[in-house]
Structure 1
Amino acid sequence: MTSSPVRSRFLALALAGALAGCATPAPPPSAPAPAPAAAVPAPPPTRPAVQPVEVQPIAPATQMQPAGGSTSSTAGAETLTRVLAYADRVRGLQTSDAVAEIARLGDPGESAPLQMQLALALAQTRNPADLARATALMQRVAASTQADSQPLQALARVLAARYLEQRRVEDDRDRQVAQLKEAQRRIDHLNDRIEALRAIERSFGRPSGTARPSP
């Protein structure tokens, strides 16, 4: 009889445990594992941008000169300016004034500026010999290797060509003047001969100075 209550109690505990197990909620279903993402192709490796190569600018002539080039260029420009001013001053000289200026300049020696000044004065005398001398001086400056002649050589070449052309024109003019004088001389000579023939002709038509005796 004592085992019956014990069994009943054991059964009650077992039943209570079974009921407790039935009352425990089932765990929620686990979420499906995400599908593996599609493999994205890796971007191609980027090449470094190629920068354009800039052409090295050509340095101006003044930058390629030595340190003293700027000073020499300034001096050359000043020399050219003085010669141009002198040319403008002597351009309107009368012949006598030009002769006096030539005497004042004297011998220019090896100085290119003085040679050009003398040539400019000689060109104002209207004398063919002086113009020939002026042309020779300009050609001398144009062919010189002296440092002071470098800024003046372009102008010297232009003036030498102009003087040569002026000499050609003046030579043609003198030739034409000589031809006109020769033609005028011949005309005068022919007029003299014609006048002489007319005088002879008139002498034949004059009546005799003595009268003939009557028969």
Structure 2
Amino acid sequence: MWSWAGSAAEVEARRRDADELVGARIRAVRYFTLDYRRHELHPGLVDDGPRNIDAELEWNDPTWLFDGFDAVDHGFEVATDGGAVFSLTWDPPGEREGIGLQPTPMLGSGVRSDADVAIWDVGEHAPSWAPMVGGRVTGVDLHYVPWDEALGSFWCPRITIRGEGDRVDVVLGDSLDGVLVPSSDNIAVVHPGTPLPSWLD
């Protein structure tokens, strides 16, 4: 469980975990996506498991890049200069939904360590992260809202990571024919200057 909170106390506990990122300098950001092109571009690749994207051909047309946002299947991790790693991903959809940020690597937590995932070290390649990499994190906002007011439970459909150079907003969302739409099992990183989707209201 990454996001859903059964009480206000759990919300505060999750916020404390996320606040551990504040003050750290971002060294790298890595997207974890389905490996759409594994068999097309690497038919001889027999090993299962994670694959780091380093071919220029794939970087010329990233599977996650859309007009105004990045759609990331599994989530991403932020590595800091101090050696810490924080990951942001979604809760399994169903009775509870949301996104969360925790001080743990993606492999072995957000995705299985042997999953066939593509790992993109986006750095300055992603419009949202170019102003953030190399700078310090100045704040993390977990935008919790009530899930069931009668039970006192909460979910988090948006997270904002603020830095010295800019801010990044992450929402539960995906691409449908290039348009940002709600999703329960995908995250979208909204590009700077792009308005947040109205369905977040």
Same fold (TM over 0.5): no
TM-score range with shorter-chain normalisation?
Answer: under 0.3
Higher percent of residues as strand = 2
Report which of the two structures shows the higher radius of gyration computed on alpha carbons. 1
TM-score using structure 2 length? 0.21
TM-score using structure 1 length? 0.20
